[in-house]
Every structure is written in C-alpha cells, then in structure tokens.
Amino acid sequence: MQTSETVLVTGGTGFVALYCILQLLQKGYYVRTTVRSLNRKNEVLDTLRANGSTALANLALVEADLTNDANWDEAARGCAYVLHVASPIFFTPPKDENE
C-alpha cells in the first residue's frame, strides 16, 4: 500500500522512533524524522537498512532539537500525522524546574 501522506516521527535516532519509522515505511508512508544533528543521518539509514527497509527514498531527516524552536515548522510542514516519541535527555539536573 502506497500513500501520499507524510508522518513526522520525532527523535529519529531513538529505539522507539526507529521502530516506528521502519513500520511506517513498510506500510508505504512518507516519513520525516527529526534528529538533533544531521551527522547521525548514516546511523539512522544503516539501522533501517539492517532491519530490512528498502523504501529509504521515502524518508527525510530534519535537524531539530526539543530544547530549541528552530526547524520545527519545517519538520511538521505538510505532515498528516505526528508521532512524538522524542524525549530530551539532560545529564545534569536543571536549575529551574520549568526547564
């Protein structure tokens, strides 16, 4: 089944996101995923290939970080659905509980 719908999956380098991306590509969706750094693009592609994905032409990566507003409009533009599975990871506790 091929569809013209695009799904945004946040946190494209994470385990849950990669599983979602793999399933969506297999079902014929176009997928856009966010990564904190495009330097990790090959890691995402290699993982999907290793798990049988052959529809990588239907995948786009956008550099976006949950702690920054940059590029989120671009990431979500034209998407019919969003799977928000990303989670910010902090290595030190924030000074302010609102962070």
> 50-64: per-residue pLDDT in tens?
999 999 999 999 999
In which residue ranges of the chain is pLDDT below 50? Answer: none
Statement: the pTM of the whole predicted model exceeds 0.85: yes
Which pairs with CB-CB distance under 8 Å and at least 24 residues apart come from 13-21?
13/40, 13/43, 13/44, 14/85, 14/86, 14/87, 16/85, 17/83, 17/85, 17/86, 18/44, 18/47, 18/48, 18/51, 20/83, 20/85, 21/48, 21/53, 21/59
Structure tokens at 89: 């990871």
